[in-house]
Amino acid sequence: SSDVCSSDLKVFFQDLGSIDYKKAWDYQEKLSKTAIDIKIANRKNENGYQKETDSHFLFCEHPHVYTLGKSGSFENLLLDEEGLKTIDATFYKINRGGDITYHGPGQIVGYPILDLEKFFTDIHKYLRFLEEAIIKTLADYDIKGERYDGYTGVWIEPENPIKARKICAMGVRCSRWVTMHGFALNVNTDLNYFGKIIPCGIEGKDVTSIKRELGRTVNTEEVKAKIKYHLATLFEIDFEDHEEVD
């Protein structure tokens, strides 16, 4: 809404479109390092000049890629090098929490690079807010997204072990209260790619998408607008478009 409260925190917004996973990761690292360096300098200069950190929020979509988090096991990738080539996918081991996941076309990936010291220094609350933004977005499509005890992300019918299915994966990293990585919401995703892994290392759990739940293709840009709206409301932020070209 245009009547944004002036006390809302400013967050730079960018939609990177379809971008190679590693390239997006490097860009996140760059933005997060800039904020962390400022915080380190500020600490050394306690009584002097304190520079402001910038917070960012990125949307993107990745070509087919599997990423393995710190706690993950290679055994959860059911493909070898050749297998990856045949389905045109790449693989990265990365520095977020969580196990293995898939990113690809038709999936909205959101990367908040927020200085949580400007919001609240509570990583659990931060994750709950991210989940809540997705749950509210799904509700806009009459899909009941829920939390699943003991698991991250957003699920459908978590109370039914046979039907429980994950629609949004989450994995974050936080260093000096600056966040990285984020969430991946399946909108019109080709779910067959999840068949090549044990998603998040959880055996026998199904994965779904908005398209599968509704039985129709959904406009991704419309979904992004809803996510942005709910994030802005929950975190009390004011998004400002940020055009930076590498």
Tell if the pTM clears 0.85, that is, is over it: yes
Query: For the residues of 128-150, what is the DSSP string, one character each?
Result: HHHHHHHHHHHHTTT--EE--TT
Between CA 78 and CA 232, with CA 60 as vertex, the angle to 5 degrees is 120
Q: Are the beta carbons of 97 and 70 closer than 8 angstroms?
A: yes
pLDDT tens for each residue of 51-92: 999 999 999 999 999 988 777 777 888 888 898 899 899 888
Stretches where the chain sits below pLDDT 50 are: 1-4
User: Residue 97 has what pLDDT?
Assistant: 64
60, 168, 174, 200: which one is catalytic? Answer: 200
User: Residue 2 has what pLDDT?
Assistant: 46
Q: Indicate if 200 belongs to the active site.
A: yes
User: Which tokens go with 120?
Assistant: 């609240």
